[in-house]
Structure 1
Amino acid sequence: MSVLLIAGSPSERSRTAALLSAAGQRLKFRGAQVETLRVRDLPPQALLLADFGNPAVVRATAQVAAADIVVVATPVYKAAYSGVLKVFLDLLPQTALKGKTVLPLATGGSPHHMLALDYALRPVLQSLGAKNILPGIYATDSQVVVNPEGGYHVDEDIADRLDDAVNTLINDHIAPTLSNAGRFSNVHFSQVRCSV
């Protein structure tokens, strides 16, 4: 199971990055192959001018295509997800998330911006063809504390919600594979041979 973490924060160190890291660590612990794509590291000119042929944009698009699961994290600014994430999502093909499960994460200054996940980000993820969009996890500044050394602490409530989301992702992607292991493939009736 391959997971792509998309960091949609324009800042290198942020509460959004810490929340995304907490999700990624939980997924790695459960055996997922996890990669991180920091949109802020893509060339700004390529993003703003929609340069689909830029090598960095091509690589980023290929990372999205290769992932089974996508975790998207963004800070909320003015009741919407970040502009840097918006320009990246606009560069993706219309079916970039087809067949994928997506977990949206967001951070914001107050609980009043919580609905940005459902009313701003979710419709875009759906328009990109996501098969399943899990309930988003929104954390306020007080729920994700970043210390000056770069470490962070995630509030117990947020940690529990991350654990639940990771369990859902694991159960939806690994459990079905395991339940089919060791079974015979289906045989059409015309291929059945019987001797008495």
Structure 2
Amino acid sequence: MTAPEPDAVVSRVNLANALTVMRLALVPVFVVLMFTGGGHATVWRVAAFVAYAVAAVTDQIDGYVARSRRIVTDFGIILDPIADKALTGAALVSLSLLGDLPWLVTIVVAVRETGVTFLRLWVIRHGVMAASRGGKLKTLLLNCAIGLYVLPLEGTAASARAVILAAGVLVAAVTGLDYVGRALALRRRGTSVTEGLLEDSDAG
């Protein structure tokens, strides 16, 4: 959820945060539905798809609600990416455990997500790395692909979801490298500013 600087007087109890909490709460519901009936019963997979789709939709609207209503909070900024990664991670691991998705895909995405989170923490003293357009595209592609993999599809539909997934993984890898470059640039900029301030202090 990309958002402007939060207002300290805004209550944590608001619609945007409620949507984010709902997304996080849907994660265990989705996992249970995925493995009910042996993991491949059509009715339960469709139910799991509905849970995933509802959670994915909240990811697209909670940020907009927070910005448009000026109800951005630190709580929401912290919880939103946690909910996103929990949902995506749970879905990928579940699909891999059920044999519907190669573990390589799950590992690549997990490494990318963990790495970006680490980079954001690494540069937090120097600036905030907001989600890029590529990052948002990655999320959209992966959400679409994962949702389609949850459904028991065959034939052309199954081939189409594989193409969407491949595009999502490719964008994930490329944007991951972009985040590395942005993080290094922020660190260099922050170090240069700090050194300049020290030199001014010494000169004074």
- TM-score (norm. length: structure 1): 0.29
Q: Which has the higher strand share?
A: 1
Q: Which has the higher helix share?
A: 2
**RCO higher in structure (CA 8 A, sep ≥6):** 2
- TM-score (norm. length: structure 2): 0.28
